[in-house]
A and B are shown apart, each in its own frame.
Chain A
Amino acid sequence: MWHVEIGLQGIVTTAVLGLAAVMWAPEAARWWLVGAVACGSTAVVVVVPRWRYLVHRWEVSPTAVYTQRGWWARERRIAPMSRVQTVDYAQGPLARLFGLASVTVTTASAAGALRIDGLDRDVALALVDELTLKADLVEGDAT
């Protein structure tokens, strides 16, 4: 999914930058610039999704949720089950095409939402059920 998503983005970026180069760059350097942009985009399109796939991890223990995402900059988030406020399940158009889904776990903090992308649909649904049950079992008002 990420390959396709970033591939689409890459095509758009290449087209826009290429067009800009054709419009404004001097005659001689024009096609060199377009080539460079295309090469750069291709490299990004090939490397980034794999890198991202290697970084992404998630884990649920009886007391907490843990996610790791990103590629160049990596973000690891940990939230205890007792502080979970809502569990969201979302599917974008591309994700539906691939039978995938994302699960977002929010806490009371403005900076603490945990998001797990690209889960298999059934896994995601099972995870939502599991998290909802576990969060329900813990006492407290989650603030």
Chain B
Amino acid sequence: MTWQRLDRRMLLVHPIKEIGRFLPVLIGVLVAGGASGAGPWSLLGVIVPVALGVVRYLTTTWRIAEGRVELRRGLLQRHTLSTSVDRVRTVDLTASPVHRLLGLATVVIGTGSVASDANERLELDALPSEQAAALRTDLLWSRAVAAAAAVDEDAPADSAAEEVLARFSARWLWYAPFSSAGLVAAGAAVGGALQLTEIVDIRLTEDALAAVAGAFVGLLLGAALLLAALLAVAGYLVTNGGFVLARQGAAWHVRRGLLTRRETSIDTARLAGISLGEPAALRIARGRRLAAIVTGLPGASARSAVLLPPAPTSTVVPAAVTILGSAGPVTGPLLRHGRTATVRRYSRAILAVLPVVLGLAAAALSASYWLLAAVPIVLGLAVLLAHDRARSLGHAFSEGHVVMRSGSVVRSRDALAAGHVIGWNLHDTWFQRRSGLVTVAATTAGGSGRVQVYDVTTAAALALAEAATPGLVGQFTDPDDPAPSPF
């Protein structure tokens, strides 16, 4: 295959982008030009960005040849990026509104390299949509299809069909305010409202209308919450509008975005596991979210590992079961961590709020006894949190997956395929050693690098590791002294 240029329509897009970037300079030039009356100089402000766009188009070429993807760009500083097709792990298609208008899409090829430098990214900006989709098919299937064709002649025909797992519905919008982004928006709104009331309060007391203030504050808070919810819904709609999760051959496609359309494809062989997010707020609303633990996506671009945004449990759980190919890791029972772990959750929660309680008590003694009423509330919250955290703790080895669940406010249930477990980290503090507990983490190349759960009994942790990776951990445990010295 010979060297190819990007799409000719980019001649339109690049100058627009460049003009956007040069806008401050442009305005300056126009103002200065208008003042001094130097006409030709102001034209320069338009010509330079356009010329830059043309140069970018002319100097960027790419090709796929001899099993390698190669990209050359730059006028003064030439860059040649080259990678083996075997190493391609993800292919993202992104289309901003301008791109969509012109029927273009940007292709970003992920190879699992940790380089986050923009210069090091294999990014083709942009190709015609059809060509981009075809390129993705080529890159992701060349290997998979070759493997499948050896076994089954029909495989290529099958893989061409897209099998939709989940599709956006208006009902999903209900879950937007319960997601973490919604909570952040709500927090910001409440903070803003409080600040506003402070300002308003001062004016009201000046006007000697303090009696009205109470109702007014309540109203303002309500309005702020409503606004936050609306903002969350709008944000959700913009990022997730038109969401589709589908399987096509050996890859999962995630398509989303109302204005900027993003299409992420994840090679099934690179899918190490899934993370089922069950934050407290979402659990109350009976929603769940789903993310993929993928090798080849650096932590920074974790967003593209989203498999499903906050959505009804009845949609998310079946999708997760389909993706993993078995129900055990998603819905199966987990081993509880026992009494000691529960006691630790309670003692930690109480210890954490102790300073608050003591402070409140001290304030109550010196100021007003009304503050004492807050003490049971704080303690009650701590106990609730501890109860939920203790209830959440669990782990299992189910149908070839290591499953771990922990947390309360941001609870998640992670399932990691045993084949993707790289190693084990066992972490224990002196207190944990005394009660025979250990924080166990299975390390992996994908996601955040590890999946972990705390306060497992040492024997259970070893059993889990032994089940997932037979013989790996066992060879280092001393049969005579299963629990090493407490130092």
Contacts and interface: CB of A to CB of B under 8 A. Distances in A.
B427 A73 contact: yes
Contact of A111 (B426, B433, B443, B485): B443
B445 A78 contact: no
Given A76-B425, A77-B423, A55 B487 contact: yes
A112 B450 contact: yes
B423 A83 contact: yes
A54 B472 CA distance: 24
B462 to A, nearest CB: 11
Contacts of B422: 79-80, 83, 107-109, 112
Contacts of A75: 425-427
5 contacts: A64-B475, A71-B487, A73-B429, A74-B433, A109-B423
B112 A143 contact: yes
B423 A79 contact: yes
Given A51-B487, A55-B487, A74-B427, A111 B448 contact: yes
Interface string B424-456: 111111100100000001011100111000000
Contacts of A89: none
Interface string B133-164: 00000000000000000000000000000000
A134 B441 CA distance: 25
B319 to A, nearest CB: 26
A59 interface: yes
A32 interface: no
Given A74-B428, A111-B443, A143-B295, 12 more contacts: A51-B487, A71-B487, A72-B429, A75-B427, A77-B423, A77-B424, A79-B443, A83-B422, A109-B423, A110-B299, A111-B450, A112-B450
A42 interface: no
B87 to A, nearest CB: 9
A63 interface: yes
A107 B425 contact: no
Interface in A64-104: 64, 66, 71-80, 83
B476 interface: yes
Contacts of A83: 422-423
Contacts of B429: 72-74
Nearest to A105: B423
Number of chain A interface residues as a range: 20 to 34
Q: Helix, strand, loop or mixed for chain A's interface?
A: mixed
Contacts of B473: 78
A24 to B, nearest CB: 22
A59 B477 CA distance: 11
A55 to B, nearest CB: 6
Nearest to A82: B422
A52 to B, nearest CB: 9
Nearest to A51: B487
Contacts of B450: 109-112
B469 interface: yes
B471 interface: yes
Contacts of B448: 110-111
Contacts, number: 87
A140 to B, nearest CB: 11
A61 B443 CA distance: 19
Interface of B: 112, 295, 299, 422-430, 433, 441, 443-445, 448-450, 465, 469, 471-473, 475-476, 485, 487
A28 B487 CA distance: 39
Contacts of B433: 74
Contacts of B444: 109
B327 to A, nearest CB: 27
B447 to A, nearest CB: 9
Interface string A43-65: 00000000100110001010110
A61 B475 contact: yes
Contacts of A79: 422-423, 443
Q: Which of B422, B423, B433, B476 has the most CB of A within 10 A?
A: B423
Given A74-B433, A80-B423, A112-B423, A107 B443 contact: yes
Contacts of A61: 475-476
Contacts of A109: 422-423, 443-445, 449-450
Contact of B295 (A71, A108, A114): A108
B430 A72 contact: yes
Q: Which of B429, B444, B450, B465 has the most CB of A within 10 A?
A: B444
Interface in A3-50: none
A112 B476 contact: no
Nearest to B469: A80
Contacts of A111: 425, 441, 443, 448-450
A51 B443 CA distance: 27
A108 B472 contact: no
For the complex of A and B, 3 pairs with smallest distance between CB atoms: A110-B449, A79-B423, A108-B445
Contacts of A59: 476
Contacts of A54: 485, 487
B431 to A, nearest CB: 9
A109 to B, nearest CB: 4
B471 A63 contact: yes
Contacts of B295: 108, 143
A107 B429 CA distance: 24
A83 B469 CA distance: 13
A112 B425 CA distance: 8
A110 B426 CA distance: 16
B243 to A, nearest CB: 29
A51 B487 CA distance: 7
Contacts of B472: 63-64, 78, 80
B445 A63 contact: no
Nearest to B270: A143
